[in-house]
Copies of this chain bind each other. A is one copy, B any other.
Amino acid sequence: MDDDTVFRALADASRRRLLDRLHARNGQTLSELCAGLAMTRQAVAKHLAILEAANLVATQWSGREKQHFLNPVPIQAIADRWMRKFERGRVRALADLKRALEVPDPPADRADAPHGTADGD
């Protein structure tokens, strides 16, 4: 629903790792997701709460255990709705970039090398 919440939720590497874990095995409990992470259970719980608020995971209580399920829809949504538009203009943007880098801009005599690179890393 709220793109910003999803983007912010994805901004943290630990949270992305949690999503990766759920992608590997869905329906894990909090304790299972904690295993092997250099973090407190409470820290993981906070991350999961943020992911849940962003609707990236849904939870289901099963007795005293809380199972976590991945919801891939919001990820897909921002990929389609926001990122895709950059794919459309991609060729043109790269052309602009390259042109700007090659032509030393006649009006000014001193033309430094640009701070970014045309190739993506």
Residues of A within 8 A of B (CB): 1, 4, 7-8, 10-11, 13, 16, 19, 23, 26-27, 52, 55, 57-63, 67, 69-77, 79, 82-87, 89-90, 92-94, 96-97, 100-101, 105, 107-108, 110-112, 114-121
Contacts and interface: CB of A to CB of B under 8 A. Distances in A.
A57 B74 CA distance: 26
Contact of A11 (B7, B69, B82, B110): B7
B11 A96 contact: no
A67 B11 CA distance: 27
Contacts of A27: 96, 100
B107 A63 contact: yes
Given A93-B69, A93-B70, A121-B55, A60 B23 contact: no
Contact of A89 (B23, B83, B89): B23
A20 to B, nearest CB: 8
Given A112-B61, A114-B60, A69 B120 contact: no
B74 A26 contact: no
